[in-house]
Every structure is written in C-alpha cells, then in structure tokens.
Structure 1
C-alpha cells in the first residue's frame, strides 16, 4: 500500500502547479456552493471573528478560503515529491533567508511559528533549506503518516512528536543555536495550554512557545508562505512576534495577537475550516452550537 501511494504521489507531484491549483480551485468552489461541515465552520468563524464584514464579503472570503484549503492538498505531492529543480525555484528568497541566518547567528536559536495559512507545507521546507530545524509533528495513522513524514523531511528537517520527548528535542535544538518550528494555531492537548483572546474570543492556546521563548530570551518570528495566483509560485514572509511573547502572564496574548496579524494579512488563505474554538472555558457554551 505504501509503495503504491508513493508512486501516486510522485506522479501527481510531477504535474504542473497551475494544473494542481486549477483542480484545487474546482474542488474548493464545489465546497463553497453546497452544504457541508467545512463550509458551515468557515462561515461561522468568519462571522464571529470578522464581524466588520458584510454578508457578501463574508461569503466571498469563505469561498476563497475553501479554494485555498483545497489547493493545500493538491499542491502537497508537488512540494513533497515533485522535481527538485522546481522546488528550488519555489524556495528562492535570499533576503528572507539571510535575515533568518542573522537571527540564528545570535547564538540563542530561533523559534519559528507557522500558522495554517497559505502553503504551510512549503514554509516548513523553506525553513529547513535555511538551516537545521526541529519541528513538532503530530503523527498520523497508516501509510499516509510515512508519506507525510518523508515529504516534510525532504530538505533535512527533524520531526519530533508532540510529547515530552519532542519538547526535550526542541530545547536541545535551541541550546545548539538551531531553529525550532511550531504550529501556533492548533488547539493543544489538555493541560498543554490556557485560554487567551484570538479575534476577541477565548481560544485554547499552547503555552509551549512562551516557555521556550523565556529561556535565554530566544527570538520568535512568524514564517508563512503566500500562494500566488494562477500557479505563479509562492512568496515567503517573515515577521517578528509581538513583544512580550516570552512573558509568563502576557505571552499567550502576544502569541494570539501575532497569529491574528498574520491572518489579517492573508485572510483568504487561512484555514477557516479548522474548529479553532472547539475547546471553551468551563461553563461557556459550545462555540459551534447552531443555537
């Protein structure tokens, strides 16, 4: 099964990016037109997170978000298993890489936060192309886990599980003045997070970033990859996290503020279909309850 899937991914990865993105456009458009859970979640979260939008603007943004979410899946084989020469072209961003290398040269390591926005699979390979990086990874089930792991390690990244052992590996990487990668917009496991405002509403947020940043004043930056239209490629963005992210009291607020700033930069490329608010403070109503 693994061998067959790998061949399929290699064949799909060889297809032109405009064709893959075109198929993603088709699938995402269908998702935006017919009732389904992704569409419902996307519209609900946009309504509550961006109340300044009118109904027409909200539906347009939902459609674009669903299209970009479909493109994430369609472009993954090309990023993980496509021609190396084409990948090199997509990773070309000398100025951003020089900035990251200068931060690493400070000797404290570098924490990179990559939300689920744009081509987040390519963002991981871009970081690994810049230098040694250890990233947290939630293992999947079955043969797909091996393919995802192989693809994400394509440029030499080290993936560690979301466990105590994985956190220890992140600490060791920082001691070695290397980079560590974390997804900051996932709902963390119980007892691994606390509530902090995101778009003005309580979101269960990981405490790991603040704890790591507080050790030796480690620099924290957001890294995300914008998907250009018509299959023209990608653009990488690097921005400093808000001040206070390593503070024990204000760190979670600063973290979510940074996530919100990134999302507002490219709202149409964010994964609004993910139930970010599924865990709520004790006594609070179900965020996704239609009532």
Structure 2
C-alpha cells in the first residue's frame, strides 16, 4: 500500500496502532473477509495505488488483455489490503496463533543444508504475500538479522520495531554500520534478510532487467556473497486466503553469485520473478520499480519522474 505520509499527526499514529491492536486477535478468515470488502474500495478510490499497479502490470504482462490486467489489479490491491490488516496479527498476535497459521513450509532444507555446511544464508524477501509472517517464522527458528529503516511516522517506530523483534530478530540500520552487522551475522553462519525489490539510492545500484525492462536494482547482495560465501534463497509467505500461510523457500537464480554486479542484479530480479510466479496477485505491484529508468531516460528530476509514473 502507499506509504503513510510524514505529515500524519501523533493522533493518527495512535489510531493506526490501536487499529492493529484491535485486529491482532481476529481470525484470519475474518481479516480476509474484511479485505475482500475493502479491496474494491481501495481500487476505486486510491488513485495512486490503482494507476501504479495497472502501469506495472501492463509492463510485465503485455500479452494479457486490459480486462484481465484490471482483474489482477483488483486482486492485488485486495491482497495488499489483507497484508495491512494482518500487521497486528503478525506483530501483536499470540505467538502460538501466528506459528499455527503457518500451515505449509516448502524448501526449508535449503536453509538447513547451508547452515550445516557452516555457511550463512541470505534470504531475499520480496514484497509478496505477508512478509511480516515470514520475518516471524525466520526469527523464531534461526538467528536472524535484517535491515530496518524507521517509518515516516516516528510515533509508530516502537510499535513496528517491537513487532519485528519480538521473536528474536536483530534489526540493524540501512547504513554502513548495518552492512557490517549483516557481514558479521553471515560469518557466524546465521540468516539475514534483504528486500530485493525496492529502488536503492543513486550510486547503490545498477540497471538490470525485471520482466524484460530495466529497473534500478541494489548491489548489496554480491558484496555480501563475495565476502562471506553465503548461500542465497528467496523466501515468501504466501497467503492461503482465510486459512493461513505457506512459507516457500526457493533456490536462487545462479546469477546472484556472479561477481559482476549487473549480472548479480539480473539474478536477483529473476528470483523476484520466480516468487511472483507462485501467485502474481499476491505481489505488491504498487512500488514504482521503473521510476529511475524514467528519470535517466528523460533527464528529469526524481520528483518529476515520480509524477510521470
């Protein structure tokens, strides 16, 4: 969903936190029912989310007709709504309930084999399904470190930080100190999480294909692999509507291990595509993955590129 703007008041932040808390004990079937009611409203009235989702879908699925893409856009915004409503469940719900909601686990052996070999594991976790449930499971079962950038609403920071750390995850800042912490964790044969599908700042990425179109992609991964010989997997928590979640760990595209940053970034984007293929409606298509390409090609400032897309 669209990020909450920084001008939101402390009162609004308290209201958001209270909403999460009030939903923490609701059954997943109830939250999914609410999502199915609210999703069409989000599609109709949230112009930014609707337009960006439809632009992205037109780029990645040009072979589909417009009606099919609109239907997929509505389904995607329903799943994004579900993720927002499930945050209280993932962050504040009774841990046993959250654990029991994970009714399938696929590919765990990829993590176990790497750690048995004395290697760390880098989990690429795209914005698919409910990534907070994935964080819950990983930090419940492995020493787990992930980068964390405080939210734009400062008052929500302690709520989100506590929710993500409550099962033992270690959150580190998105700066050189945080990168150093990831390296140390990997050298201890632990697991770390990286978001592979957000545009980095200029100078921290390269252009690499994402569904046959160039997208500015972070180059942190090859740096971590080169210095630690860690194994890479893709991890997602796929929603099983109204019932729970299926955790999937997928073997990474071999190009992620390339020393060439552009080649490695191409492998990273291929990993994201493999995860999306599990259920395209569960990917959060509201991110402007191609924004920096527009800026680069048209020679306009970033804020103008933002409007063009």
TM-score bin, normalised by smaller chain = over 0.9
Cα offset, 1:6, TM superposition: 5.2
Query: What SS class does the counterpart of residue 127 from structure 2 fall into?
Result: coil
Q: Which whole-Å CA distance do the structure 2 matches of 1:144 and 1:221 have between them?
A: 30
1:201 equivalenced with 2:213 (yes/no): yes
Cα offset, 1:182, TM superposition: 0.4
Aligned match of 1:114 in 109, 116, 125?
A: 125
Indicate the larger mover: 119-128 or 258-267.
Answer: 258-267
CA RMSD of aligned residues (A): 2.1
Structure 2 equivalent of residue 237 of structure 1: 248
Aligned 8 A contact 1:204 1:280 in 2: yes
Aligned length in residues: 289
Structure 2 equivalent of residue 17 of structure 1: 28
Cα offset, 1:102, TM superposition: 2.7
Query: What SS class does the counterpart of residue 129 from structure 1 fall into?
Result: helix
Aligned match of 2:60 in 40, 49, 66?
A: 49
1:124 equivalenced with 2:168 (yes/no): no
Structure 1 equivalent of residue 42 of structure 2: 31
Indicate the larger mover: 85-94 or 111-120.
Answer: 85-94
Aligned 8 A contact 1:207 1:252 in 2: yes
Q: Which has the higher helix share?
A: 2
Structure 2 equivalent of residue 89 of structure 1: 100
Structure 1 stretches lacking a partner, 5+ long: none
Aligned 8 A contact 2:103 2:245 in 1: no
Structure 1 equivalent of residue 290 of structure 2: 277
- Shift of the 247–147 alpha-carbon distance from structure 1 to 2, 3 Å rule, reads same
Structure 2 equivalent of residue 163 of structure 1: 175
Cα offset, 1:95, TM superposition: 6.1
Which TM-score applies when normalising by structure 1?
0.92
Structure 2 stretches lacking a partner, 5+ long: 1-9, 299-304
Structure 2 equivalent of residue 145 of structure 1: 157
Indicate the larger mover: 25-34 or 35-44.
Answer: 25-34
Aligned 8 A contact 2:104 2:245 in 1: no
Q: Which whole-Å CA distance do the structure 2 matches of 1:92 and 1:68 have between them?
A: 18
Q: Which whole-Å CA distance do the structure 1 matches of 2:110 and 2:33 have between them?
A: 33
Cα offset, 1:232, TM superposition: 0.6
Aligned 8 A contact 1:97 1:130 in 2: no
- Shift of the 3–197 alpha-carbon distance from structure 1 to 2, 3 Å rule, reads closer
How far does the alpha carbon of each residue in 1:59-98 deviate from its partner, in whole angstroms, 9 at most, with x for none?
A: 1110100000111100110111112221120245566445
Structure 1 equivalent of residue 265 of structure 2: 252
Query: What SS class does the counterpart of residue 213 from structure 1 fall into?
Result: helix
Indicate the larger mover: 77-86 or 58-67.
Answer: 77-86
Q: Which whole-Å CA distance do the structure 2 matches of 1:92 and 1:132 have between them?
A: 22
Cα offset, 1:112, TM superposition: 0.4
- Shift of the 21–94 alpha-carbon distance from structure 1 to 2, 3 Å rule, reads closer
Aligned 8 A contact 2:106 2:249 in 1: no
Structure 1 equivalent of residue 76 of structure 2: 65
Structure 1 equivalent of residue 7 of structure 2: none
Aligned 8 A contact 2:102 2:244 in 1: no
Q: Which whole-Å CA distance do the structure 1 matches of 2:200 and 2:26 have between them?
A: 36
Cα offset, 1:3, TM superposition: 7.8
Cα offset, 1:8, TM superposition: 4.7
- Shift of the 170–96 alpha-carbon distance from structure 1 to 2, 3 Å rule, reads same
1:227 equivalenced with 2:239 (yes/no): yes
How far does the alpha carbon of each residue in 1:248-288 deviate from its partner, in whole angstroms, 9 at most, with x for none?
A: 22111111111112112221000011111111276413486
Aligned 8 A contact 1:100 1:130 in 2: no
